[in-house]
Chain A
Amino acid sequence: MIKLDSKIPKGPIADKWSNYKTSLRLVSPANKKKLDIIVVGSGLSGASSASALGELGYNVKVFCFQDSPRRAHSVAAQGGINAAKNYKNDGDSVHRLFYDMIKGGDFRAREANVYRASEVSNYVIDHFTALGVPFARDYGGMLDTRSFGGVQVSRTFYAKGQTGQQCLLGTYSSLSRQIAKGTVKMYERRDMLDVVIIDGKARGIITRNLLTGETERHSAHAVVLATGGYGTVFYLSTLALGSNASAAWAAHKKGALFANPSFIQIHPTSIPVLNDYQSKLTLMSESLRNDGRVWVPKEKDEKRHPNQIPEAERDYYLERRYPAFGNLVPRDVASRAAKERCDAGYGVGDTGLSVYLDFKDAINKQGKKAIEDKYGNLFEMYLKITGINPYEEPMRIYPAGHYTMGGLWVDYNLMTTIPGLYSVGESNFSDHGANRLGASSLMQCSGDGYFILPYTISDYLADEIRTPLIRTDHDEFDKAEKAAKERIDRLMAVNGKQTVTSFHKRLGKILWDHCGMVRTEEGLKKGIEMIDQLEDEFWKEVKVPATAGEYNQELEKAIRVADFFEVGRLMCQDALDRNESCGAHFREEFQTEQGEAKRNDAEYAHVSAYEYTGNRQREILHKEPLVFENVELKERSYK
C-alpha cells in the first residue's frame, strides 16, 4: 500500500530549504565516481540536472530522442524566465514571487516547493548570465525585465522572443562541456520504453535505439526523468511533435503515482487552426499581451476588416471584465474569456474561433521600432505562418493546449513514489498548482536541475556507495526488455488499414471537446467511453509499416499514441473526481455568478495522486492534503 509522504521539512517557510540543505547527507568525491545516474530527457531540466551532476563527479548517462540534446522543446519557450531580483525596485521579493505562483496556481500547489522554486530563481539568472546567455539589457548594461500575466511587477528576464532557446543553449553548452570531460555520456536517438526496478529501487531503463530498432539495457544507481509534458495528447498543441508521455507513463505503470493529470494549461495566444491538415499550433508569446490589446467586435457576425471597425464598436473584453490586470490576466482566465466570446458568437475569422490581438495603439505610442525590438521574431513568425502582417493589422489568436501542470507525483526531494526514481521540470507536478504563470516554467526547470536535485539526490545516494555497478543481466532487466519487445511486436502485428496519426487526431479531438477548457460530468463520462472505443479500434485497425528492427518513425509514433489513450482516460477520470473548478480545470457545474472558477477548499484542497492498477481499471486515488500556513485561501480575483 502506497503512503504519500511529502517530506516537507519543518520550520518557517523562508528557512525550510536552507536548513534542510545543510541536513542532507553528502557523497565524497571518491565515491561519486563509482555512482551512475541516468537522466532521461535533455531539455532545460534534464540538461541542467546532468551538467550539475556531472560537474559534481557522478557518472551520468543522458538520453534523448532527438539527434541532439539542443533540440529539446524547451528551445521553443519564447517570452521569458522569472526571478525575484527586484531590479525594477517595484516591490518584488522571493515572498511575492511565491505568493503570485500560489495564487496563480489557484491554491493547488505545495507551499514549500513553490517557495523553494522562488528562492532559487535568482541563482538561475546569475548562472545563465555566467554561462554567456545574452539576455536583453538596458542602455546602462544592466539586465532588462518585462511583465507577464497574473503579476503586477516586472520580473521576467528575456532574450527577445527566444528566451527558451537562449536558456536551453546555455544549458546545452554546460552539458556539452561535461560530455567533453567524460562525466556525461550522451545517448541520442533513444526512446525510453520502461524503467527497471530491482528490490523496490529504480535501477535502470530499457531504451529503443531509434536508428537500429534494437532494445537496449542501461543501469544506474538512480534514474531521473526529465521528460517534459504530455500536451501532445490533444494532437494539436503548441508542443513539438515528438513530445510524449511514454517515459513518465512507463514509470506510472511501474508504481510511480501520477498527480493532477487533468491540470493542463490551455494557452490563450496561439495562432488559430487554419486547415484540416494542421499538425501543430504555434504559440504567440504571452509577452505580447504587455503591449497587445485583445478584442472582438461588439456586433455578432461582423464582416468588416478589423482595421475598419471603429474604436467604439470594439469590445476589449479583458479590460472590461478585469480592469485591475486587463490584458495581463493569467492564462486560464484569458483562455476561458476568449472561448466565452467565441461561443457567444463574437469570434472572428472564417471559423469564428479566434479573437484579435491588436498592436495599433502600442505602435502609435512607442513607434514601430520599439515594438520590433521587443517582438520582432514573433511578428515575423506570425507573418510566415498566416501571410498577414501584424504591424498592419491585428493578429488573430485562439487558445491551444500547451503545458501540463500535472505529472509524476514527487516529494520535496523531487523523488517519485519509486525509491531512486526522480522527476524534474515539467514531467513532475510540483510547482504550478492548477495553473502555471508565464515565464515560471524555464525558471522551475533550471532551478530543479541546477540547484535542487544535486542536493537531494546525494542524500539518497549516500546509502548507495556500497552498491556495486548494477548488472544488466539481472532478471528484472530480462523481464522488462521482454515485455517492451512484446508490446512492439503486438503493435506491428495489428497490420490494419489506418495510420497512427489518424488515431491520434481523433483522440485529440475527443479530449479537446470533453476534457479541454470547459468540462462537465456528462461530457467527461462520454469522453471516457469514446476513448475506450477508439483504443479498441486502434489495436484492431492501426497500420505500422515496415519492421521493428530498423529506423521506423511510424512505430515511434504508434508507441506514443498507444500510451496517450491511457493518459487521456486518466485525465478525464481526474477531472471527474475533482468536483470543483480551479485554475485550468473548469467544471461548468462549479462557477461563480460572474462565470469564474469556484473552488471547494473544504473538500478539494489536495493533490490527487493516482495509482495504476491495470489498463481500463479504475486507478486508486490517493490524496495529499495541501496545508496553507503562509497564505490565506481566497477567491482568486484579477478584477
Chain B
Amino acid sequence: MEFKLKIWRQKNASVKGKFENYTLKDVSAEMSFLQMLDYLNQQIIESGGEPVHFEHDCREGICGSCGLYINGRPHGPITHTTTCELHMREFKDHTTIVIEPWRSKAFPVIKDLVVDRSAFEKVIQAGGFVNANTGSTQEANNIPINKKISDRAFDAAVCIGCGACVAACKNSSAMLFVSAKVSQYALMPQGKVEAKERVENMVAKMDEVGFGFCSNTYACEYDCPKGISVEFIAQMNREFFSAKVCKSKK
C-alpha cells in the first residue's frame, strides 16, 4: 500500500505548527497505525530528519496514551477502537491520511502530535476517589452490590482517559469523561456517601480548567473508543441537580 500523509508538525508549544506532507510506500495492510508511523519515523531518522513525536505505550487499547485525530475523527475511522488498535487494512490504498493532535484549549500542544492532558488529572484530584484510608476497610463481602448496578458501574469505569471525548466535541467539553467517574461512584454504595460533594467539586474543577459546556451532540459517545454511554452525562446532571437542591434547602 502507499499513502500520502499530512501530519501536523510543531516543534514546541511556543512556535506555530504546520502540516508537512510525506509519501510512504510499501505499507503492509497488517501494520497497525502506530507501526505505520514507526515505519515513517525510521525513514525520517535514516534520512537525517527529526521523527514525528506521538504518544503511545501499551499498544493494546488500555493505557489511553495514544490519541490522534485521523481524517477528522479522534482515533480514526473505526468505532470503539483506539489509535493503537487501528490497522492499515481499514484504509483505502493510495489515499491521503490527515493526522493531527487533539485540538482543545484545555489540551495545549506540546510537540507535533503530543498534547498536555493534565487538565484531566486536576479534575480527578478534585474528587474522583472514595475517601477510604488503607487498613480502615471492612470485609469485602459485607457490601453486597446488586450485579446489575455493579456491572453498570463497571461500564462507566472502563474509561481510559484518552481525551477523545473532548477532541470530538465542538465545545471541547469533558462531560463524558467526568460523568463516567461521577457515575461509577454514585452508583456504588462505597461512593454514595460523598456523591454530592464529589459531583459539585468535579464539575467546578472541570469548568475552571477550561473545558467547554455540553450541547448534547453525542459526538463524544460516538468517538469514545470504549463506547461509554452519554446516559452517564444524564446521570451526572441528575446528581449535580440533586446536590444543588439539597444544598439550597440547608
**Distance of B58 from chain A, by nearest CB (Å):** 4
Residue of A nearest to B157 (CB): A134
**Distance of A381 from chain B, by nearest CB (Å):** 7
Residue of B nearest to A553 (CB): B53
**Distance of A159 from chain B, by nearest CB (Å):** 6
Give CA–CA (A173, B198) in the complex, Å: 13
Of B98-106, B143-151, B207-215, the one contacting chain A is B143-151
A274-B30, A551-B110 are known contacts. Are A130 and B150 too (CB-CB below 8 A)? no
The size bracket of the interface on B is 35 or more
Residues of B within 8 A of A241 (CB): 56-59
Give CA–CA (A47, B234) in the complex, Å: 32
The size bracket of the interface on A is 35 or more
**Distance of A87 from chain B, by nearest CB (Å):** 7
Give CA–CA (A279, B124) in the complex, Å: 32
**Distance of B153 from chain A, by nearest CB (Å):** 4
- Mark A446-471 against chain B: 1 for CB-CB distance below 8 A, else 0: 00001100100000000000000000
Give CA–CA (A384, B30) in the complex, Å: 11
**Distance of A121 from chain B, by nearest CB (Å):** 11
Residue of B nearest to A173 (CB): B129
Q: Which residue of B38, B133, B135, B161 contacts A279 across the interface (Cβ within 8 Å)? A: B38
Within 8 A of B (CB), among A118-172: 123, 125-132, 134-143, 159-160, 162, 164-166, 169, 172
- Mark A64-90 against chain B: 1 for CB-CB distance below 8 A, else 0: 001110111101100000000101000
Of B1-9, B114-122, B236-244, the one contacting chain A is B114-122
Q: Which residue of A85, A162, A174, A550 contacts B62 across the interface (Cβ within 8 Å)? A: A162
Q: Which residue of A188, A277, A387, A551 contacts B39 across the interface (Cβ within 8 Å)? A: A277
Residue of A nearest to B82 (CB): A384
**Distance of A600 from chain B, by nearest CB (Å):** 38
Q: Is the interface of B mostly helix, strand, loop or mixed?
A: loop
Residues of B within 8 A of A76 (CB): 58, 60, 62-63
Within 8 A of B (CB), among A529-569: 543, 545-546, 550-551, 553-554
Residue of A nearest to B42 (CB): A499
Give CA–CA (A278, B89) in the complex, Å: 15
Give CA–CA (A421, B212) in the complex, Å: 45
Task: Name B's A-contacting residues (CB within 8 A).
Answer: 12, 28, 30-32, 34-35, 38-39, 42, 45-46, 48-51, 53, 55-65, 80-81, 85, 87, 89, 110-111, 114, 116-118, 120-121, 124-126, 128-141, 143-147, 150-151, 153-154, 157-158, 160-161, 184-185, 188, 190-191
Task: Name A's B-contacting residues (CB within 8 A).
Answer: 51-52, 55, 66-68, 70-73, 75-76, 85, 87, 123, 125-132, 134-143, 159-160, 162, 164-166, 169, 172-174, 176-177, 179-180, 186, 188, 211, 240-242, 274-275, 277-280, 282-283, 380-381, 384-385, 387, 450-451, 454, 497, 499, 501-502, 543, 545-546, 550-551, 553-554
